[in-house]
Structure 1
Amino acid sequence: MMVKPKNSPICPITAALDVLGGKWKVFILSYLAEHGTLRFGELKRLIPKVTQKMLAQQLKELEEAGLVNRRVYAQVPPKVEYRLTAHGQTLCPVLRSLREWGYLHREKLGAEEVTCPEVSAEKLIAVE
């Protein structure tokens, strides 16, 4: 269960950005929405530009925010899986809308069609 911080933001936009702020969090959430459950190494392969340290930090922050569930299996070598919590799944429509807005914005700027190196454009946010 998530603990409410003493200085929790009053503004809903600030509350959202406090949780989603960070270069890689939206990509992590998008891949977990697309694939369901992923191991650390799988996330690292899907987001090749993120360092291991940054990926671990971002996952920890998402877990603390109650958006990602981390499951550790008692085996050697250790196996750790990540998946969206029910609360994390409520972000799927938001992430889908963000992607669609990105398409519109790029179109307005006259940007040519390119694939995103961090996230598959076709499969992003496939979860309804």
Structure 2
Amino acid sequence: MPLNNKEKQMTDVVRKDVLARLQDGDYSCAKEFTLAMFAGKWKLIVLCHLDAHGTFRFNDLRRLLPRVTHKVLTSQLRELEEDQLISRREVLGPRKKVYYQITPLGHSLMPIIDAMCDWGDARIAQLRVDPTFSADESVLPTE
């Protein structure tokens, strides 16, 4: 799906350290740069669930990822936002509410992430193990 003008303007933003590494030749290729966009212990699962289930509040994500600390989740969300892969919306009121959702740029990564998931599922099946994952998907909305 082509990006509109506003989305094109948003896509020229990336974390300063990532941009510096890109300009300094620290990435061996575009594939390594792409992986850096969602590298991080919780970024991949956050992107997947925002894409599949829509908007989440911070505490919804904390319930989904019971092992993540407040500090680490905040940091990972901030990096995803700086890279324009998710957006953050604040609603002011008696209690401030913060909502996160995937952006069109973040959504454009999903075919790559889905292919990685398919590969992982196939490899797990080959290994004949019954994995235990740390995300608590029982807290997700039912459709």
TM-score of the pair, normalised by structure 1 = 0.83
Which residue of the other structure, out of 3, 11, 32, is the alignment partner of 2:13?
A: 3
One-letter code of the match for 2:112? V
Residue 20 (structure 1) aligned with residue 38 (structure 2):
yes
- In our comparison, the structure showing a higher alpha carbon Rg is 2
| Whole-angstrom CA distance in 2 between matches of 1:37 and 1:106 | 30
| Whole-angstrom CA distance in 2 between matches of 1:10 and 1:3 | 21
Which residue of the other structure, out of 69, 82, 94, is the alignment partner of 2:87?
A: 69
Are 2:56 and 2:100, in contact at CA under 8 Å, matched by a contact in 1? yes
One-letter code of the match for 2:83? A
Count how many residue pairs are aligned between Structure 1 and Structure 2. Answer: 120
Residue 39 (structure 1) aligned with residue 18 (structure 2):
no
Which segments of 5 or more consecutive residues in structure 2 lack a partner in the other structure?
A: 1-9
Per-residue Cα deviation, 1:63-113 (whole angstroms, up to 9, x for no partner): 00110000011222111000000001112222221221111111111213x
Moved more, 62-71 or 89-98: 89-98
| Whole-angstrom CA distance in 1 between matches of 2:103 and 2:49 | 14
TM-score of the pair, normalised by structure 2 = 0.75
1:10 shift after superposition: 6.5
Per-residue Cα deviation, 1:21-76 (whole angstroms, up to 9, x for no partner): 11111011111112110000000001111111100000000000110000011222
Partner of 1:102: 120
Q: How does 1:80-95 map to 2 (within 5 A)?
A: 80-95=98-113
| Whole-angstrom CA distance in 2 between matches of 1:117 and 1:42 | 15
CA RMSD of aligned residues (A): 2.0
Are 2:58 and 2:98, in contact at CA under 8 Å, matched by a contact in 1? yes
Are 2:88 and 2:99, in contact at CA under 8 Å, matched by a contact in 1? yes
Which segments of 5 or more consecutive residues in structure 1 lack a partner in the other structure?
A: 124-128
Are 2:63 and 2:136, in contact at CA under 8 Å, matched by a contact in 1? no
